[in-house]
Homo-oligomer: A and B are copies of this chain.
Amino acid sequence: MGRWEPNARGRLEQAALELYVERGFERTTVAEIAERAGLTERTFFRHFADKREVLFGGSFLLQQHMVDGAAAAPQGATPLEAVGAALDAVGEVFRGRHAHARRRQAVIAANPELRERELIKMTTLSAALAETLRGRGLAEPAASLAAEAGIAVFHVAFGQWVAGDEEQDMRPLLRDALEQLRAVTGTG
């Protein structure tokens, strides 16, 4: 399978993002990404199915952490506490990833196809969280509503975090948005 390249995946990811920012996602080829990373196209395809996967390869990890966070909440936790635990776990995933997330977001914002893919990712996350909440004994439609509310909180807090200029912990933003959701839905 060829020789081992130290941190090939990370180098490819870095090179791809640089090129997507510099010349646009559409106008970047896999050959250029590999060249910028000092690796071969063959190595690229050992790590990613295509150039879009470089941007979305982390989705499964994010979902896994979110679901594990909700599942690990104490047995007596309320649905919202389980959602809070899921969001804390999501915040952990993004620790130290601010500069990367910012560049990734700029690339996605510039391309309608990537924006659609990002929307679908959110729907997938919501469905996975709803399933976990049902596994904790929450009935429908409450499970889907709690999950969609949780994803809305993530969406809003992520937007604030990625718009910020500096690396910061996402979790206080997530907790604050969850609190605001509580306030806004509790006063009707």
Contacts and interface: CB of A to CB of B under 8 A. Distances in A.
Nearest to A123: B119
Interface string A99-122: 000000000000000001001100
Given A78-B188, A79-B188, A116-B120, 7 more contacts: A80-B184, A81-B188, A145-B152, A145-B156, A145-B180, A148-B148, A148-B149
A59 interface: no
Contact of A79 (B81, B83, B184): B184
Contacts of A119: 116, 119-120, 123
B181 A145 contact: yes
Size category, A interface: 35 or more
Interface string A144-174: 1110110011011100100000000000000
Given A141-B160, A142-B183, A188 B152 contact: no
A91 interface: no
12 contacts: A79-B188, A80-B184, A116-B116, A138-B184, A142-B180, A145-B180, A148-B149, A148-B152, A149-B152, A149-B184, A181-B185, A182-B188
A187 interface: yes
B180 A186 contact: no
Contacts of A16: none
B79 A187 contact: yes
A142 B152 CA distance: 11
The 4 residue pairs across chains A and B that have the minimum distance between CB atoms: A80-B188, A148-B152, A78-B187, A141-B156
